[in-house]
Every structure is written in C-alpha cells, then in structure tokens.
C-alpha cells in the first residue's frame, strides 16, 4: 500500500476528519441563500413554547412544512450523514442506526422540555406567551439531556451499553463547532473591532495560562502523588490543556502505554460533567456584569471541546437573561459563546504544539525508561505522529470562518443573505450540542471508575482543578477581558 493510499485510508477512518467534512457539508448547504437557493429552510428549530405543537418548526417559514414533518426530515438527514461517518470509522451500522434514533428522539424531547416558556422564555418575551414569570434558562435542554444520559448510563447499564455504539460526544460536538465557525464569522463582520480584540486577547490568555498550568500540575503529580513521568505528563496535559484530546496526544508523544490515556480520559469525562453542572451558574451569579470574562473562563476551565463550548452556550443564555432582568441590558446573543469557543480553539491548537515539544524532550532526555516497552523508540520523533493527534475538526472550523469572512469582506451587500444561511445551519449546532450532552451523560459511568481504583487520579484532578486551575483561569480571564461587553440588541 502506497503512503498516499494509507494516508487516505486513515483519514476515512478518523472521526475528527469526519467531523470536519460533515460540518463543512452543512456549511456549504448554508451558503445557498447567497446564490439564490434556500437549501436548509426545512431544518427544524427548537422553539420556546406554551403549546406543545409549536415546540418545533422549520427555520424558514416559506417551506410549508409542519413542525413534526420538519423534525422528521431533520432526523433522517442527520441520521444519514452521521451513518456515513459511522460506517467508515468501523461502527456496527445496525446498532448505530437504532441507537442513534433513540438518542436523537430522547435528546429532542429534552430540548423540548428545556424550552417550556416557564423555563426558556427571556424576561422580555414572557408577556407574549401569556405568562407572568420565567426562569430564563434558554439552554436548560442541554442540562436535562445530560442528566437523562447520566441516569441511563449509571442505572440502566444494559440499555446504556447498547446505545454507546451511537453515543459519540466528540463527533457530535465537533460537527457543531465547525458549523459554529460560520456564526462567529458573521459576528466578526458585524463588529470587526470587538471580534479582533477577542481573538488577540484569547491567544494571549491561553499562552499565559498554560505556561503555568502544565508545570504546576506535573509537579504536584510527581512530588506529592508519586506518579511516574509516564503518568504525570498525560495527566498534566489532560487537566491543564484540553482533557481527552490532550491526554491522548501527550501519551502518544511520549509513547506511554495506551491504557494510561484511556483511564485518564474516563476521569476527565466525569469532571467535565461536574463542571457543566456548576460553572455556568457560578458565572451567572458572580460575573453577569462581566460577560466576556465569564466566556473566557468557560474556555479556560472546562477540559473538553464539547464541555467548554456547551458551558459557553449555557453561560451566554444565563448571563444575558440576568442582565436583561436586573440591568435592563439586552446583550446580543452569541458573543459570550464566541469568547469561550475562540479560547478553546486556541487551546486545541496548543495541543499539537505542546505534544511536539514533549516528544522532542522525551527523545533527547532519558526522562522515564518505563514509558515504553522499547525505550529506544523514543529517539525516533515523527511529525506524522503529532499530526495524527492534531484535532482535524479545527481545520473545518477555520475554513468555515475564513470562507464566510472573506466573502463578506469582498461583498458587504451579501452579508444579509449569508446571515440567513448561517442561521439555518446554526440550527444543526443546537441539535449536535444536544446530542453531545446526552452522550456525555450516557458514557459517564461513575461507579465503574471507582471500581477500577482511580482514587488517586481523581484526587489529583480535584485538587488541581478546584485548588488553583479554576481560580487562576478566572484571574487570567478577568485580566484580559474585564470591561469588555458584547454589543447590545
């Protein structure tokens, strides 16, 4: 098999590449209005509702589709495109199709519950629904989805095992993030100066935070918990950089035993779920007057792509709702999420850079003779190994952002039609985020983690996360974003 053929085969089997391709496919369909064709108007959108029949409806009113028909067509579309990916990454297609169907409809039910007007209506909309109050928790459907997933994953083990073939939280969230790139591009075109500030400050915040995070966590793991370097390096990367992806990339770079990043990943997922349940509400309670600080904090603190972006979305909704109620300020939707996403994207890029640095260090210095079955292999540093671990969906995110941004800059009059297509494509982001939340809950088996004796790993993770990472990340976020606010509607 030639090198090019082998590379193509690996790409077809890579979930990260499929996230990029499927996200770009949705993005391409969303460009339809720019060329005079509405290709995604049929996509369903979860609405705030009092009457159940109005809970879902097509994003474009001109399609003539009813709410359930739109939902059904959307289900068939998402099932079709994700099944293609599942086939190439080696999933059992029958189990995937059945499992995904169950996951999709349960997730949509959770989103529907989260959008009951008493829960999801913003304060300025309560009168239009004929109600006197609302919690204003527009993203509550995500939390409901995760809680339902946790219940199934921990109390209905056989059912959870069957559904896990289709529970792909990383694939779902990464598709959503690729689609999100277009939304960020539109916001950048609308307020170029503010967007540029966010990007520059986000990069500075990531560099400053993680030059401190990683060595401190590594030192704690080595000196106080007596972990070997083979364990300490992936643990430090997983806690301080970007969760599962960073732990796997670092384990590969230093040629640690494969079981190490797998065990660490299981612990990381539990803490991500915990952060999702706590941090957005802490941000709402103490940072609602400093919304960009809150967004950056989500990006720096939550250790997974899905968790960080999802927590950014929840924080966006919670803070905007409270600001409207108590301050009378109606901030534009999505800017807090943009800060969280931009910060997380820079962190993902940092994974490849840091893994490459560690690979060189481990190859030059005899840091841990037990880190590989054949320690001599550490002298062979391959850039291909690092590329294999680089999060490919970032390429899709960057492409959607750049394409839309450049088209908008060269044709400002076409931004309105671009916005229509982006809003239609963005409906998929909500769906994939919901699927991710449910899947995170489903695959988080807390009892199994303790049964495997992970107490020490949990202890160091908890100490590092709640002892200094959360609070130093908050300080860095405040340092770079204090005083910056989103545009008002």
**pLDDT for position 137:** 66
- Residue 45 phi, psi dihedral angles, 5° rounding: -130, 135
Mean pLDDT of 239-257: 73
Q: How far is CA 231 from the centre of its chain?
A: 26
**pLDDT for position 432:** 93
Residue 379 clears pLDDT 60, i.e. is over it: no
**pLDDT for position 378:** 45
**pLDDT for position 408:** 85
**pLDDT for position 264:** 77
Q: pLDDT class for 271, splitting at 50, 70, 90?
A: confident
- Residue 447 phi, psi dihedral angles, 5° rounding: -65, -40
Mean pLDDT of 150-172: 90
Q: How far is CA 188 from the centre of its chain?
A: 20
Number of residues in the chain: 489
Q: Which of 140-149, 317-326, 449-458 has the lowest mean pLDDT?
A: 449-458
Residue 92 clears pLDDT 50, i.e. is over it: yes
Domain boundaries, the chain: 11-481
Task: Label the pairing between strands 56-58 and 44-46.
Answer: antiparallel
**pLDDT for position 377:** 47
Q: pLDDT class for 190, splitting at 50, 70, 90?
A: low
Mean pLDDT of 155-168: 92
Q: pLDDT class for 276, splitting at 50, 70, 90?
A: confident
Say which residues have a Cβ less than 8 Å from residue 117's Cβ, sequence separation at least 6.
48, 49, 50, 126, 129, 131, 134
pLDDT digits (tens, 9 = 90+) for 39-75: 999 999 999 999 999 999 999 888 889 999 999 999 9
Got the DSSP string for 28-74?
HHHTGGGGT--SSTT-EEE--BSSGGGSEEESSGGG---HHHHHHHH
Say which residues have a Cβ less than 8 Å from residue 158's Cβ, sequence separation at least 6.
none
What is the CB neighbour count within 10 angstroms for residue 42?
18
What is the CB neighbour count within 10 angstroms for residue 159?
14
CB of 391 closer than 8 Å to CB of 244 = no
**pLDDT for position 454:** 66
Q: How far apart are CA 246 and CA 233, in angstroms?
A: 10
The rounded percent of the chain whose pLDDT value lies above 90 is: 30
Of residues 399 and 307, more confidence is placed in: 399
Q: How far apart are the first and last CA of the chain?
A: 57
**pLDDT for position 247:** 78
**pLDDT for position 312:** 87
Mean pLDDT of 285-299: 93
Q: pLDDT class for 2, splitting at 50, 70, 90?
A: low
- Residue 44 phi, psi dihedral angles, 5° rounding: -75, 150
In angstroms, the Cα distances linking 272 to 252, 332, 467, 473, 478 are 22, 27, 16, 16, 22
Got the DSSP string for 133-192?
-----TTHHHHHHHHHHHHHHHH-HHHHHHHTTT--HHHHHHHHHHHHHHHHHHHHHHTH
What is the CB neighbour count within 10 angstroms for residue 98?
15
pLDDT digits (tens, 9 = 90+) for 22-36: 999 999 999 999 898
Query: What is the residue-averaged pLDDT of the chain?
Result: 82
**pLDDT for position 244:** 66
Q: pLDDT class for 245, splitting at 50, 70, 90?
A: low
> Coil, helix or strand for 411?
coil
Residue 81 clears pLDDT 90, i.e. is over it: yes
Residue 383 clears pLDDT 70, i.e. is over it: no
Residue 448 clears pLDDT 60, i.e. is over it: yes
The model's pTM is 0.69
Residue 254 clears pLDDT 80, i.e. is over it: no
Mean pLDDT of 357-361: 76
Q: How far apart are CA 248 and CA 215, in angstroms?
A: 18
The rounded percent of the chain whose pLDDT value lies above 70 is: 81
Closest by CA to 111, choosing from 438, 443, 332, is 438
């Amino acid at each position: 098999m030639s090198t090019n053929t082998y590379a193509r085969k690996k790409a077809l089997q890579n979930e990260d590449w499929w996230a990029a391709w499927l996200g770009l496919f949705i993005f391409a369909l969303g460009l339809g209005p720019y060329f005079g064709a509405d290709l995604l108007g049929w996509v369903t959108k979860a609405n705030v509702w009092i009457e159940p029949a109005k809970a879902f409806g097509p994003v474009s009113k001109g399609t003539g589709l009813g709410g359930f028909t739109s939902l059904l067509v959307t289900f068939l579309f998402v099932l079709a495109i994700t099944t293609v990916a599942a086939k190439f990454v080696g999933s059992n297609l029958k189990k995937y199709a059945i499992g995904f169907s169950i996951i999709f409809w349960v997730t949509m039910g959770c989103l529907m519950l989260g959008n009951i007007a008493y829960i999801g209506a913003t304060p300025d909309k309560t009168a239009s629904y004929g109600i006197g109050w609302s919690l204003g928790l527009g993203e509550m459907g995500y939390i409901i989805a995760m809680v339902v997933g946790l219940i199934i994953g921990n109390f209905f083990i056989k059912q959870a095992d069957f559904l896990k073939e289709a529970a792909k939280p990383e694939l779902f969230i990464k598709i959503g993030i690729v689609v999100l790139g277009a939304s960020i591009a539109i916001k950048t075109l609308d307020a170029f100066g503010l967007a540029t500030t966010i990007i520059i400050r986000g990069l500075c915040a990531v560099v400053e935070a993680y030059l401190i995070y990683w060595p401190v966590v590594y030192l704690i793991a080595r000196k106080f918990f007596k972990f070997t370097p083979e364990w300490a390096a992936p643990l430090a990367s997983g806690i301080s950089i970007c969760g599962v992806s960073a732990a796997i990339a670092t384990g590969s770079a230093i040629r640690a035993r494969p079981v190490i990043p797998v065990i660490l990943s299981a612990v990381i997922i539990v803490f991500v779920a915990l952060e999702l349940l706590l941090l957005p509400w802490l941000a709402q309670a103490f940072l609602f007057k400093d919304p960009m600080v809150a967004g950056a904090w989500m990006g720096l603190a939550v250790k997974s792509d899905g968790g960080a972006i999802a927590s950014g979305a929840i924080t966006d909704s919670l803070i905007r709702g409270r600001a409207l109620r108590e301050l009378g300020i109606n901030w534009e939707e999505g800017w807090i999420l943009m800060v969280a996403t931009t910060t997380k994207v820079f962190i993902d890029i940092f994974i490849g850079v840091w893994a490459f640095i560690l690979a060189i260090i481990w190859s030059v210095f005899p840091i841990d003779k037990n880190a590989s079955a054949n320690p001599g292999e550490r002298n062979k540093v391959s850039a291909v190994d690092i590329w294999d671990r680089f999060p490919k969906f970032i390429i899709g995110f960057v492409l959607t952002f750049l394409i839309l941004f450049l088209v908008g800059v060269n044709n400002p009059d076409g931004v309105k039609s671009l916005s229509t297509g982006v809003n239609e494509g963005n409906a998929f982001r909500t769906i994939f985020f919901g699927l991710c939340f449910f899947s995170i809950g489903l695959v988080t088996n807390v009892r199994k983690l303790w049964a495997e004796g992970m107490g020490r790993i949990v202890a160091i993770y908890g100490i590092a996360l709640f002892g200094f990472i959360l609070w130093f990340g908050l300080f860095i976020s405040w340092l770079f974003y204090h005083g910056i606010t989103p545009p008002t509607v």
